[in-house]
A and B are shown apart, each in its own frame.
Chain A
Amino acid sequence: MTKVLLKGNEAIAEAAIQAGCKMFFGYPITPSTEIVEYLSKHLPKAGGTVLQGEDEVASIYMCYGAAATGTRVMTATSSPGFSLKQEGMSYLAAAELPVVVVNVNRAGPGLGGLGPAQSDYFQCTKGGGHGDYRVIVLAPSKSQELYDFTMQAFDLADRYRNPVLILADGFLGQMMEPVEIKKRVAVSLPPQDWIVDGCRGREKRKIVSYALSNEVGEASCARWQAKYEKIEEQEQRWEEFYTEDAEYLIVGFGTCGRIGKSVVLNARKQGIKLGLIRPITLWPFPKKAFAPYKDIIKGIVTVELNAGQMIEDVKLAVECKMPVHLYSRQGGMMPGENEILSFMAQVFELSVAEEAIADGKNI
């Protein structure tokens, strides 16, 4: 077992190489830039190509071209850059091209700030580009998951012929942690009988996203929706922590899921039966995770680095059967575990010792 100390962004880049990614097209933007830097240095040695596009738009369409040839391809960016890629995301979904896209979320809107944020949740999970489409969204919470999920993303993209998004944040991208460098595991994937690579010895193929008639357009939409339903059924992923006997739940993804574990442990010391659900797939949202608890949980707090975006999916998942509150930090700020516990004590009228919430009083 090889463990190396890597920055989160470097873990993503190394995982891409190990997963057989041969093409990377990108444009530098903080806090995701180490991905293009690491790959510029290491991907050519692994027989791949890194090309710095003239902009984010070019980069996503270079991915479109590479994916059309059946080549494993990735791009990486941060929030403003991801906005520029939205037209391409829609076209990738419509043309059903397997591309791995990384968004290392920074604070927005506008130019925003370089600090960590989860403010692109809506954009990542609900579309962002035009039309009815979905992309699989994976939310890692530590460097090892940045590595593992990136590797899995390539297989998911190929399995479903769909773009797959890694949604990290500036904290995860910049943090250094030991990462176990795993080799690619062989999995059975559908044949690439759709790629365009020159029609030698076969019928010509074409990759398009237009519909000449409304009837064809509706049939295409139905085909896409059927695929999305299949993904929703098969790919919901989440982590549970102290949920077996929980009366209250914290729900947080990525960095917030990680902080939430400390909150759970602190609450348990105070005799509060708190558990955690950490969504790993943000789309499909892990509704199945909530099903066993929606009639027994007294209250939920979602912890998010945005103004309250995932909370909508949580409320739908529990059918609003109990109070669901938001604890939010924005603009690049991170919550401390005590301030979250203090908030929970306040909204659910729970009794906790003064020292457990000492630095979290002024919320």
Chain B
Amino acid sequence: MEKIFKRTKGLTGVPFHYCPGCTHGTIHRLIGEVLEELDIIEDTIGIAPVGCAGFCLDMFSCDFIGAAHGRAQAVGTGVKRSLPNKMVFTYQGDGDIAAIGTAHAIHVAARGEKITSIMVNNAVFGMTGGQMAPTTLAGQVTTTSPYGRDCTSSGPPIDLPKTIATLDGAVYVAAVSVDSPKNIFAAKKAIKRAFQVQQLGLGFSLVSVLSTCPTNWGLSPVDSIKWLQENMLPIYQMGELKVPEEVKAL
């Protein structure tokens, strides 16, 4: 029988430790496939965050460095400046990149650092048990916003890709979701383009991926997907926010 679907070489096969219904696994798979298809597994250094994805460095087949909370892009900068011909990507949650790591998120883009950042946005701090993040939606209940996020006190959620897209050094910015097969395909295309932008040395590339957190949202996996579609998709600007001509032609 012909094998039509198999494990990507971009992943090691170490079992995912993520909760049932969490979409980190899907996003890992997409990145793994892109690494394999572009034939860059052996030329890539990944930078892991602190958070649920902190252990992703065991799951990808490429070299990996664990960073401190929020510092992945600074670490990635040091790697890329030392090895300008290698591929460097950071994998970060929304708390990591949009709260404690904000200064680095802005300046890595402003410098046009030739690295790729994958931001996984599930609207909470997942690893610590579901606290309010900068991306938490208005009224959303978390353990540190037990009465719902009060925007008069905490402000409305940050749409980081929109902010990053205003900076000239950020040449490819996309916001995608992995809530449906159609969107998963679009997400993979965006991730691939982000890496291609880096291969061409055009500048900084960012892909934000909306993700679920059934455990901390207190919902089943199926209801989590529904919650993401009904609550997150309308709030965050989706699609390719910025695409350079060189990549459109690919």
Chain A residues within CB distance 8 Å of chain B? 22-23, 25, 49, 51, 53-55, 57-59, 61-69, 71, 73, 87-88, 91, 95, 196-201, 204-210, 212
B61, B68, B78, B80: the one within 8 Å of A63 (CB): B78
Interface size on B, residues (CB 8 A): 36
Contacting residues of chain B (53-87) with chain A, CB-CB under 8 angstroms: 54-55, 57-58, 61-68, 71, 74-83, 86
| Interface pair B104/A58, CB less than 8 Å apart | yes
Give the chain A neighbours of B74 by CB distance below 8 A: 53, 57-59, 61-62, 64-65
Chain B residues within CB distance 8 Å of chain A? 12, 41-45, 47-48, 54-55, 57-58, 61-68, 71, 74-83, 86, 103-104, 106-107
| Least CB distance, B54 to chain A, in whole angstroms | 7
| Interface pair A210/B54, CB less than 8 Å apart | yes
B42, B68, B81, B106: the one within 8 Å of A62 (CB): B81
| Least CB distance, B103 to chain A, in whole angstroms | 5
| Interface pair A204/B66, CB less than 8 Å apart | no
With contacts A57-B103, A204-B62 known, is A66 near B68, CB below 8 A? no
A68–B82 alpha-carbon span in the complex (Å): 10
A72–B179 alpha-carbon span in the complex (Å): 44
| Interface pair A66/B79, CB less than 8 Å apart | yes
B48, B65, B82: the one within 8 Å of A23 (CB): B82
B64, B76, B80, B81: the one within 8 Å of A206 (CB): B64
Q: Which 9 A-B pairs have the closest CB atoms?
A: A65-B78, A61-B74, A62-B78, A54-B107, A208-B66, A196-B63, A65-B75, A66-B78, A200-B42
A207–B86 alpha-carbon span in the complex (Å): 17
User: In the complex, what residue of chain B is closest to A202 when comparing beta carbons?
Assistant: B42
Give the chain B neighbours of A64 by CB distance below 8 A: 65, 67, 71, 74-75, 78
User: In the complex, what residue of chain A is closest to B84 when comparing beta carbons?
Assistant: A49
- Given A53-B74, A54-B104, A58-B104, 5 more A-B residue pairs with CB atoms under 8 Å apart are A54-B107, A64-B75, A91-B68, A196-B79, A198-B83
User: In the complex, what residue of chain B is closest to A59 when comparing beta carbons?
Assistant: B74
| Least CB distance, B49 to chain A, in whole angstroms | 12
Give the chain A neighbours of B41 by CB distance below 8 A: 199
Give the chain A neighbours of B77 by CB distance below 8 A: 51, 58, 62, 65
Give the chain B neighbours of A53 by CB distance below 8 A: 74, 107
Give the chain A neighbours of B62 by CB distance below 8 A: 198-199, 204
| Interface pair B103/A54, CB less than 8 Å apart | yes
| Least CB distance, A99 to chain B, in whole angstroms | 10
A204–B57 alpha-carbon span in the complex (Å): 10
A-B contact pairs, 9 of them (CB 8 A): A54-B103, A58-B74, A61-B71, A61-B75, A65-B75, A73-B82, A196-B45, A204-B12, A208-B65
Give the chain B neighbours of A68 by CB distance below 8 A: 65, 75, 78-79
| Interface pair A25/B103, CB less than 8 Å apart | no
B63, B66, B75: the one within 8 Å of A199 (CB): B63
| Interface pair B82/A69, CB less than 8 Å apart | yes
| Interface pair A206/B83, CB less than 8 Å apart | no
A91–B68 alpha-carbon span in the complex (Å): 7
A58–B105 alpha-carbon span in the complex (Å): 11
A68–B58 alpha-carbon span in the complex (Å): 17
A221–B71 alpha-carbon span in the complex (Å): 23
A15–B48 alpha-carbon span in the complex (Å): 34
User: In the complex, what residue of chain A is closest to B43 when comparing beta carbons?
Assistant: A198
Query: Could you say which of B54, B63, B78 has the most chain A C-beta atoms within 10 Å of its C-beta?
Result: B78
A67, A198, A206, A212: the one within 8 Å of B44 (CB): A198
A71, A88, A197: the one within 8 Å of B86 (CB): A197
A87–B50 alpha-carbon span in the complex (Å): 14
Give the chain A neighbours of B82 by CB distance below 8 A: 22-23, 65-66, 69, 71, 73
A95–B67 alpha-carbon span in the complex (Å): 10
A71–B82 alpha-carbon span in the complex (Å): 7
Give the chain A neighbours of B65 by CB distance below 8 A: 64-65, 68, 196, 206-208
| Least CB distance, B34 to chain A, in whole angstroms | 16
| Interface pair B68/A88, CB less than 8 Å apart | yes
User: In the complex, what residue of chain A is closest to B104 when comparing beta carbons?
Assistant: A58
A11–B103 alpha-carbon span in the complex (Å): 32
| Least CB distance, A330 to chain B, in whole angstroms | 33
Give the chain B neighbours of A57 by CB distance below 8 A: 71, 74, 103
A199–B43 alpha-carbon span in the complex (Å): 7
User: In the complex, what residue of chain B is closest to A99 when comparing beta carbons?
Assistant: B78
User: In the complex, what residue of chain B is closest to A49 when comparing beta carbons?
Assistant: B81
User: In the complex, what residue of chain A is closest to B103 when comparing beta carbons?
Assistant: A54
| Interface pair B66/A209, CB less than 8 Å apart | yes
A88–B71 alpha-carbon span in the complex (Å): 9
A53–B12 alpha-carbon span in the complex (Å): 34
